[in-house]
Amino acid sequence: MNEIIRVRFAPSPTGYLHIGGVRTALFNWLFARHHKGRFILRIEDTDISRSTDESIKQIIEGLTWLSIDWDEGPFRQTERRDIYIQHIERLLKEGKAYRCYCTPDELEQKRKEALAKGEKPKYDGHCRNLDTLPAGRPWAVRFKTSMEGNTIVEDLLRGKVVFDNKELDDLIILRSDGIPTYNFVVVVDDATMKITHVIRGDDHLSNTPRQVQLYHGLGYQPPRFLHLSMILGSDKTRLSKRHGATSILSYRDMGYLPEAMVNYLVRLGWSYGDQEIFSKEELIEKFSIENIGKSSAVFNPEKLLWLNSHYIKNGDSLYLASHLIPHLLKEGILSENKDSGISIKEIAKVIPSLQERSKTLIEMAKGADFFFDKEIQYDENGAKRFLTPSIIPIFEKLIDMFERSESFDTDSLKRIFTDITEKEGVELGKIAQPVRLALTGKTVSPGIFDVISLLGQDRVIERLKKGIRYIQISLKRDLGSI
RNA sequence: GGCCCCAUCGUCUAGUGGUCUAGGACACCAGCCUCUCACGUUGGAGACACGGGUUCGACUCCCGUUGGGGCUACCA
């Protein structure tokens, strides 16, 4: 094969960009990159009433977030109207299409009747051979479909799929408002954009015979088709809002890393032996149509979460910090104006302590709050349990040792703690939990030596002293209330 | 309803007629590790939808049933 492979992703901007669409985009993109072909982005906005600019913005933002880049486009079908009209006029002139004067109401009426009689609702060809054209009535254009014989769709995944042309009818290619319809524009676009492989969702398979007939009517060679099975929700129905977040950007906002999303999505319908983790470079190298599965897949958020935690665990600190910042801001842990002095390097420094205990960036942001907060709030139950008078001597001893300690690395901190536990004859846990509470306000945090070391001498001593004051104050209050 | 597609653990999947007492991953359960939470680690439970063929032999091939999905618009 030395032809240049050209594929496209052609979403309609009628809602958010969802998981299924992204998977289709990803497969097209990988196919193009693997074969050093071209990946084209085309916005299918012929449904003017439902298409929105906001949706187009989201599509672009979503693909960009995932680093799925395109070589041509984004093209918008509404900007290509002249091309479609030329094609329609040609079909009209060649007698391969005709004007249809039936109104939507009449059609709806006929459909209902057919359904009531238990028949297949098909256009009856009323206007196909009109002798006199009614004047002054609005008209649409229909394609003269061949209703004899079969149309065979050669699908790269499923092999030959045979459709009986009796099932087809004359489809509308130009609406009465002058806007061409999807099944027509998709053919004209794919043909004129020289698309070699149409990789799209399974939901388009049934429309493919109509499109194949259009290719032939227009005198174009059809591309090769590959219909991907759909992604379903946990109840095996079509993925929708009912299944929680389906917009790709909402996963970004929930603290997912783009590489986790890509890795998760690619394994929905594609596999490479037993391998689960793939870098983008590896995917481009290894992706092939042979390893695409035929059955539909159920979207499983747990596995996505696992992959996310994997990429968080293994990510570079600075890289993670750059993705973490928006969440620190959103969670109110950092504020744009107040904390502008904090550098990304400072943020990156605390990340290793959080990597293996964060499944999402939001978790990581929340777990990092005590590094940045000036005043920490004590967890109520934790304080009750661990900030008790008996710990005061230990805190005092620690403060003393910290003040005298020259180095503050985890090794010397460990020595200080071992020293105390041995002298006092207590387990580390008895000391670590109260210290953790005093330093982080929480009962759960990174390793205590990491916390101390990261916080630094001054803040540690200050927070321990604050802990002691807190114990003394609540002691007085308790005595007072007796 | 008609037409089309699909069918291996709960989920994603490996498997292309014998190597399958069916492999991996997520989730789940138990043990170990341990300063909390995690990570890690060891082990466990868990599937070829059903019925007919074809074949010396079917998870693998064919047919049917069942189940799921899609299409059936002047939506895409």
Q: Which nucleotide is nearest to A49 (CA to C1')?
A: B75
Q: Which nucleotide is nearest to A173 (CA to C1')?
A: B74
Sign of the torsion formed by the C-alpha atoms of A25, A27, A30 and A34: negative
Model pLDDT, residue A1: 53
Residue A32 φ/ψ, nearest 5 degrees: -65, -45
Residue A262 CA distance to nucleotide B65 C1' (Å): 39
Model pLDDT, residue A480: 65
Residue A273 CA distance to nucleotide B18 C1' (Å): 22
Distance CA A415, CA A234 (A): 51
DSSP state of A231: E
Give one DSSP letter per residue of A301-338, joined into a string.
HHHHHHHHHHHHHHS-HHHHHHHHHHHHHHTTSS-TTT
Positions on chain B within 7 A of a protein C-beta: 1-8, 10-16, 23-27, 34-40, 68-76
Largest CA distance in chain A: 108
DSSP state of A290: G
Length of chain A: 482
Burial class (CB in 10 A: 0-12, 13-18, 19+), A112: exposed
Model pLDDT, residue A200: 97
Residue A113 CA distance to nucleotide B73 C1' (Å): 16
Number of neighbouring beta carbons within 10 Å of residue A361:
26
Residue stretches of chain A with pLDDT short of 50: none
Distance CA A14, CA A256 (A): 24
Residue A168 CA distance to nucleotide B46 C1' (Å): 46
Q: Which nucleotide is nearest to A306 (CA to C1')?
A: B26
A238 DSSP β-pair partners: A232
Burial class (CB in 10 A: 0-12, 13-18, 19+), A274: exposed
Number of neighbouring beta carbons within 10 Å of residue A427:
9
Per-residue tokens: A250 = 């909402």
Q: How far apart are the two ends of chain A, measured CA to CA in Å?
A: 89
Per-residue tokens: A257 = 């890393």
Tokens 């040609």 — which residue?
A90
Alpha helices, H only, A220-316: 248-253, 258-266, 280-286, 301-314
Contact between A172 and A181 (Cβ < 8 Å) = yes
Distance CA A134, CA A101 (A): 8
Which residues of A are designated catalytic? 241
Distance CA A371, CA A328 (A): 11
